[in-house]
Chains A and B, each alone.
Chain A
């Protein structure tokens, strides 16, 4: 059972993620997480006012079921299958983060800086969480997919548009992590 609590090797994880995509294709569907955000918006009935949300989201209930399963999976993995040896980062990364005021992982998946119990006490942290989410939601719909829809599904099907989107993901990510995030963190 010990292998369950250790960090899984990238090759095993990558293979299983590819398999998840293929199984969803075998089920007659596709692998894409961000379209669930559109479904959730549509569930409110807002499609009456905004045509983008006026679509047959009920045909996408299977995808919401995938999300539901993933949430249970996350719960089980974090609470029953983790160990203090997890998230063994490059020591250089820890040192860099430390100088920016972000706590070291020590087995945690997420830094307390953003996701700790006191997150709601800091307007700056709340703002970053909301604004970061906003960029993810807006960007994934504008680009028509996220990491699952473009990087995994799209590139697996050798789609040029997905390659453009993935290069975009990395340009945005590098700009954020090198030029914007250090300014916000300090």
Chain B
């Protein structure tokens, strides 16, 4: 039952991403060709909403649902992993037009081909775990 609220949040997330067409290979292609503002609008509005929300959480010292103080972990400082990892991710994102959220959402919608993408993504994750210590971070 504790997981039910997460399933509900996920359900809303799946509906929103699909209805906004952020799950669409076409929309990602269009975005990278600067032929529509749509995707940029979605990402920027989400960030502005997030910035205001996070600011208020910190400013008002809000507590979470269990009454604990909210602490948002900062990202580890670094360069190589973010630049190189980011570029590798971007290459894949533009190729198959889906980032991890949409991969799952479109499998749920019944697109079998997206299962191949998921297998690839799991293999990529496995590969990273395998050679992590040999990579510059």
Residues of A within 8 A of B (CB): 4, 7-8, 10-28, 30, 33-34, 36-38, 40-41, 46, 50, 52-53, 61-63, 65-79, 81-82, 86-87, 89-90, 92-93, 96-97, 105, 109-111, 114-116, 119-120, 125-126, 128-148, 150-162, 164-178, 180-181, 184
Contacts and interface: CB of A to CB of B under 8 A. Distances in A.
Contacts of B128: 52, 137-138, 141-142
A28 B69 CA distance: 9
24 contacts: A14-B20, A15-B45, A17-B17, A17-B20, A17-B46, A20-B16, A23-B9, A69-B12, A93-B26, A105-B24, A109-B18, A110-B114, A129-B114, A137-B128, A142-B135, A147-B99, A148-B99, A152-B46, A156-B51, A157-B72, A169-B87, A171-B86, A172-B88, A176-B94
Given A70-B108, A146-B99, A168-B86, A134 B13 contact: no
Interface of B: 2-30, 32-33, 35-51, 53-54, 57, 62, 64-66, 68, 70, 72-79, 81-101, 103-114, 116-130, 132, 135
B108 A136 contact: no
A62 B9 CA distance: 11
Contacts of B17: 13, 17, 70, 73-74
A75 B15 CA distance: 8
Given A67-B10, A135-B92, A33 B101 contact: yes
